[in-house]
Amino acid sequence: MQNNLIRLKVIGISYSQTQSGAYALILAEENGERRIPIIIGGFEAQAIVIKLENLEPPRPLTHDLFRSFAQACGVTVEQVLINKLREGIFYSEILCTDGEKRFRIDSRTSDAVALALRFECPIFIEPQILNEAGIVMSTTTEEEQKKTPEPAQEKKKAAASEYGMYSVEELNDLLAEAIAREDYEQAAAIRDEMARRKGQG
């Protein structure tokens, strides 16, 4: 690993303001203020949100299958590196090892991040890419965002209040049903309501 690489952390997913039906994956430098928004599709967003929300799908999704397959073959992912930016598209590579040798695999950035979350490995970016595409969030912008929640946050809050009338047993049943339908947004809202009640108990 190069010493000048910058480590990133996953901030979350929001609806894209520029492309209908798309989402923005927000990454931020671990020891700084710059953020990187990356436009991704709905499937990729779901794969990332599932891990961020610690939800367990009833059957393995593609990235879960890749992790199981890799582990069965004695391969692990050591790190993810965002190493190119061409015409607005981010390119990444996954650094893997089988215990004896290391090898790199080209990957879409959304897939690389989804795997990094599953292997609990670090995400890095080349400094020049962060310099080119990084956005510094001003205090004013962050205050405005707090006052005006993003559509996803607004929807989540509305959904959470909707489940206030249910008992804990009913919430458990609803959570199981939502996961079975692979409706992870609803499952996250139900889980948040359950967590809120535990915090009050």
Which pLDDT belongs to residue 160?
A: 52
For residues 69 and 63, the answer to whether their CB atoms sit within 8 Å is: no
Residue ranges of alpha helices (H) inside the chain are 42-52, 62-72, 109-119, 127-133, 139-147, 151-162, 168-180, 184-200
What per-residue confidence (pLDDT) applies to 119?
A: 96
Q: Which two tokens stand for residue 96?
A: 């893997």
Per-residue model confidence (pLDDT) at position 139: 44
pLDDT value at residue 3: 61
Q: Which two structure tokens, joined as six digits, stand for 49?
A: 């949100």
User: What pLDDT shows up at residue 198?
Assistant: 74
* Mean pLDDT, contiguous 10-residue spans, the chain (201 residues): 83 76 89 90 90 86 94 96 92 96 96 96 96 73 44 51 80 79 69 74 59
Q: Given 3.40.190.290, 3.10.690.10, 1.10.1060.10, 3.40.50.300, which CATH number is that of 6-142?
A: 3.10.690.10
